[in-house]
Amino acid sequence: MQSHSVTLDKARCIGCTDCIKRCPTEAIRVRGSKATIIEERCIDCGNCIRICRNGAKQAVTDELSLMNQFKYKVVLPAPSLYGQFPKAPNITAILNALYEIGFTEVFEVATASEMITKYIGDYLESAKYFPMISSSCPVIIRLIQRRFPSLMQQVLPIISPMELAARFIKTQYKLRKIDESQVGVFFISPCPAKATELHRPKGIEKSSVDGVFAIQSLYKPILNILSHPSYKGAKRQSGAAGIAWAMQTGGIDEKRIKNHIAVDGLDNVIAILEKVEDGSLNHVTYIEALACTGGCLGGVLNIENAFMSRNTLKKWIDEEEKDTREVLSKYQIQLLQSIPYLFEKDLTPRLVFTLDQDVNRALEKMTEIELLYNRLPHIDCGSCGAPTCRCFAEDVVMQKSNIEECIFILREKIKELSDQMYQLTQTVIPTDSKK
Amino acid sequence: MRLHYEVEGEDFLRAGEASAAVKRILKQLGISTEYIRKVAIAMYEAEMNMVIHGKGGEIDVTLTGEKIEITLKDRGLGIPDIDLAMQEGYSTASAQIRELGFGAGMGLPNIKRYSDTLKITSKCGEGTMVYIEVLLK
């Protein structure tokens, strides 16, 4: 089982230092002129995929053919999918295309999102810690586990809309007495982190999703069908509010949650989480944090630019608001409401930055790091393969790098050596008559 | 281990950098999260005081596995009545500073709440020295 969805294509990597600098958890080093990802640090944010100009960083998602293993092929499109097709006549046309591709049922994740929005509002009314932080973006959970472990109790213990939708579908089929092994539930994802979520779910024992397809891999098939559609049976299940989840502030019920912050883009999220840690945001009720700029529309597996797709999605939301949509049946709504949505287990910190289990030994190492860091040039050139001089100092003390891998230190040592050699040339040789 | 930071007065862009650096170090030392939180809040408040009221100054940190001692010396006007300054809601911050979201009069009370020892010495015209100790075990 593969553990991460962001991987490296060694053949394409030229060993530049673009990606190492953009990684929010300092999880990449260049070794032997190839980038390597430190698995336990990676949070699957996809920043490196976004930045790599050689396409060497790739997201691993499932092949479409996976659905053929199941008799019932249920697909859960993320609302961001809709934003990729500005020329589609409406969302229903996109859902129709999914049926034509071969899925036997389409269930909009946005429907589950609407439920989750309600659950968030309910939870906040009796929360113990403030501000609470949204848990729907898996990258944010992974980030908090690694960089902000003190905030873990503030992560909303509520499953993602994807998971709720998948549980709902599985329950429905179970009630129809259909064997679970025949039902495949697939998520169409804007980001690699959702694919990782399958193999390493957070807060729950096991994900109900069987496979994750990249929006990219469905883009062309859907586009082709949209120009010659034939299937017409798809029914909409979600409304405008659910679709808005793909964008910033999407998961916030403005009427219920008064004092909130909606933050997107990892750098911004990190800055806000630092403030939470410093206690300067205690007056805020809720923080919706999304790793990608522009929310899920900014995910690396999308085709369309996030600001373009936002425009498209907005158009549909406006139409939706005046539209009469085909909603779920009363029975379906009751069933959806009966699905458990709280985390089944606590999140655990992933202390990937800890220098040593023993505090005193960690202190010794830290002192060594500070001393070494002061000898380095502080220009963060990246030639050593580490993102910053500080990070390099840590690597050296942790015996993962050699100090001579810093070109400035190397030059110093060469100079010392050449000075010594020059001194040796000055030695007077007793039998030498030339001098 | 010892750490030293220089803090500029009224430099709001860089304000909080020293506490952020200390926080990062504590995480790397594997100090448990409840203590990191205490240090983060107490030190951040004290550092902000230096930036807002103290015209900047110096921070010295001494760190062992058992405790962290943070000494902040500012270049401000000093605090004439420390007991009054310790009261919740008391603030001398200007309207302009309050606009920025500071000056709620919770700085010193918060430092006291999140530290194990707090000593403040101040002479009018000579600045203020704040000593914060947080036990890490």
A97-118 residue pLDDT tens = 999 999 999 999 999 998 999 9
Q: Is A278 in CB contact (< 8 Å) with chain B? A: yes
How many percent of chain A have pLDDT more than 70?
97
Q: Across all residues in chain A, what is the average pLDDT?
A: 92
Domain extents in chain A: 6-56, 64-338, 359-425
How many percent of chain A have pLDDT more than 90?
78
Average pLDDT on A53-72 reads: 92
Residue with tokens 């840690």: A277
CATH class of A6-56: alpha beta
Q: How confident is the model at residue A3, as a pLDDT?
A: 66
Q: How confident is the model at residue A1, as a pLDDT?
A: 41
Antiparallel, parallel or unpaired: β A183-189 and A72-77: parallel
Cα A73 from chain centre = 26
Of A181, A159, A161, nearest to A170 by C-alpha is A181
Amino acid at the residue B53: H
Q: Which residue of B has its CA nearest to A282?
A: B41
Residue A69, SS3 per DSSP: helix
Residue A219 neighbours by CB distance under 10 Å: 17
**Tens digit of pLDDT for each residue in A301-322?**
999 999 999 999 999 888 876 6
Average pLDDT on B28-39 reads: 92
Among partner residues A147, A278, A353, which is closest to B41 by beta-carbon distance? A278
Average pLDDT on B94-123 reads: 84
Of A163, A158, A154, A192, nearest to A59 by C-alpha is A192
Of B117, B64, B30, nearest to A356 by C-alpha is B30
Residue A401, SS3 per DSSP: coil
**Sheet of strand A286-290: strand arrangement:** A132-133, A286-290, A260-264
CA distance A29 to A326: 51
CATH superfamily of B2-135: Histidine kinase-like ATPase, C-terminal domain (3.30.565.10)
| Packed helices A192-199 and A138-147: angle between N→C axes, nearest 10 degrees | 70
Contacts (Cβ under 8 Å, ≥6 apart) of A32: none
Length of chain A counted residue by residue:
435
DSSP 8-state code for residue A343: -
Residue A171 has pLDDT above 60, yes or no: yes
**Tens digit of pLDDT for each residue in A403-412?**
999 999 999 9
Give the model's confidence band at A326: pLDDT under 50 very low, under 70 low, under 90 confident, else very high: low
Residue with tokens 């070794």: A31
Q: How confident is the model at residue A309, as a pLDDT?
A: 95
- Is B69 in contact with B133 (CB distance < 8 Å)? yes
Cα B92 from chain centre = 16
| Residue that wins the pLDDT comparison between A47 and A327 | A47
Of A292, A324, A291, A296, nearest to A309 by C-alpha is A296
Structure-token pair, residue A264: 């997107």
Q: How confident is the model at residue B55, as a pLDDT?
A: 92
Q: Is A356 in CB contact (< 8 Å) with chain B? A: yes
CATH superfamily of A359-425: Electron transport complex subunit B, putative Fe-S cluster (1.10.15.40)
**Residue B117: which H helix or E strand, with range?**
strand B117-123
Residue A380 has pLDDT above 90, yes or no: yes
Residues of A in contact with B30 (CB under 8 A): 351, 354-357, 359, 362
Instruction: Look at A366 and B65 and tell me if their CB atoms are within 8 Å.
Output: no
Residue A349 neighbours by CB distance under 10 Å: 16
Domain extents in chain B: 2-135
Average pLDDT on A60-86 reads: 95
| Residue that wins the pLDDT comparison between B80 and A188 | A188
Average pLDDT on A35-56 reads: 92
- Is A310 in contact with A247 (CB distance < 8 Å)? yes
Taking the C-alpha atoms of A323, A325, A330 and A333 in order, what is their torsion angle to the nearest 10 degrees? Answer: -100
CATH topology of domain A64-338: Rossmann fold (3.40.50)
Residues of B with CB under 8 A from a CB of A: 1, 3, 16, 19-20, 23, 25, 27-31, 33-34, 36-37, 40-41, 44-45, 63-65, 101, 110, 114, 136
Q: Which of B4, B24, B33 has the most A C-beta neighbours within 10 Å, making it the best mutation to test the interface with A? A: B33
Query: What does residue A92 show for φ and ψ, rounded to 5 degrees?
Result: -55, -40
| Packed helices A330-338 and A161-175: angle between N→C axes, nearest 10 degrees | 120
Which parts of chain B fold into alpha helices (H)?
17-28, 33-52, 82-85, 95-99, 107-114
CA distance A237 to A229: 20
**Tens digit of pLDDT for each residue in A239-283?**
778 888 888 777 788 888 889 999 999 999 999 999 999 888 999
Residue A325 has pLDDT above 50, yes or no: yes
Give the model's confidence band at B64: pLDDT under 50 very low, under 70 low, under 90 confident, else very high: very high
Contacts (Cβ under 8 Å, ≥6 apart) of A219: A84, A303
Which parts of A176-214 fold into alpha helices (H)?
192-199
Instruction: Look at B28 and A280 and tell me if their CB atoms are within 8 Å.
Output: no
Q: How confident is the model at residue A363, as a pLDDT?
A: 95
DSSP 8-state code for residue B64: -
Residue A28 has pLDDT above 50, yes or no: yes
What's the predicted TM-score (pTM) here? 0.90
Residue with tokens 């230190």: A409
Average pLDDT on A346-374 reads: 94
Q: How confident is the model at residue B95, as a pLDDT?
A: 78
Bridge partners for A289 per DSSP = A263
Among partner residues B30, B45, B114, which is closest to A357 by beta-carbon distance? B30
Taking the C-alpha atoms of A363, A366, A372 and A374 in order, what is their torsion angle to the nearest 10 degrees? Answer: -110
- Is A166 in contact with A187 (CB distance < 8 Å)? yes
CA distance A369 to A391: 9
CA distance A58 to A178: 36
